[in-house]
Amino acid sequence: MASFASSDGNASFYEFSAGVTATLRRWTALRAAVEGNWGGANSKNIADNMRTSIIQQLTTKSCPPDVSSIEDYLYITMEEEFCCQLEDGSPKDVANILHEMAVKCRVQDYTLARTMVTYAEKEREQLENKINAKIITEGDDDDDDMDDMDDGMDCGDDMDEGGGGAPTTTTTSTSTSTHNHD
């Protein structure tokens, strides 16, 4: 099996590292643990150390460890560092992706690594759009509703409380969500 120190210089290592980073950022359990500080104030550092360890384990030997070894590492780290017992099977899914990515990157096939990076970037953009839409919506709700009330408009008792001016999700045009809003 090819190693990461091959004729392509460090390209395999960098592509693989980016793919591992993206895969771990997309992992819901790890993301929740870091965002919720389940590992305490050092939660982000714990996740970074996990990423570094995985990259090291999968790149320093002539052959990557088997999937079950990667899965065990993920389960143990999540339990010991974040006090999180996972029963959803996600460590096995993540381990399969990481193992396949390591095998492919060793033969200079970066498709999976690049796909994971693309997915992670799209998810980050969607999250940012949702956050921005929420900030805009909340800001618009407060200002516009107060302005409407101050204008002295007599709308009668049959109008919904709040003026019926609550914005819908028209600002989420880049979102793939199919939620119906009342």
- Among candidates 16, 30, 36, 39, which has minimal Cα distance to 75? 30
Distance CA 120, CA 125 (A): 9
Question: What does each of the 182 residues of the chain score in pLDDT, given as a tens digit?
Answer: 566 655 566 888 999 999 999 999 999 999 999 999 999 999 999 999 999 999 999 998 888 889 999 999 999 999 999 999 999 999 999 999 999 999 999 999 999 999 999 999 998 888 777 777 767 766 555 445 444 444 444 444 443 333 333 322 233 333 333 344 44
Q: Is the pTM of this model over 0.85?
A: no
Task: Look up tokens 């396949």; give the residue.
Answer: 100
Q: How far is CA 40 from CA 49, 50, 78, in A?
A: 14, 15, 13
Task: Reduce the secondary structure of 76-92 to three states and give it as a string.
Answer: HHHHHHHCCCCCCCHHH
